[in-house]
Amino acid sequence: KTVTVEYPKDFDPLAGAPASTRPPPQQQQKPEGAPTPAKKEDVIFEGTTEDLQKLVIESPVPVLLDVYADWCGPCKQLTPALEQICVNAGGMLRLVKINMDQKRQI
């Protein structure tokens, strides 16, 4: 025996479900007053001995200094998040990355 169930077209089976079981929204609304994302090349820099003074000490905005190594697993996971934070900050924050295996003198 086949049973057919009629339901409204706008029926949402997850409407009463806890938030943790709902899928994430397709597009997140940008909070009012949030800055326009910056270009990656404007806020993310590779630090060297020659330009560290200019990029960090003389920066007009706060700087997040990321000291990492290519072999470091947690560094590989954290770097994309740090880059996205700086891009989303719209130029109000810089990320200066220093590879400690290549720039030991710093």
Residues serving a catalytic function are 72, 75
4: left (phi over 0), alpha (psi -120 to 50) or beta: beta
Q: For residue 29, with 0-12 CB atoms within 10 Å meaning exposed, 13-18 middle and 19 or more buried, which class applies?
A: exposed
Alpha-carbon distance of 41 to 76, in angstroms, equals 19
Q: Are 83 and 44 in contact (CB under 8 A)?
A: yes
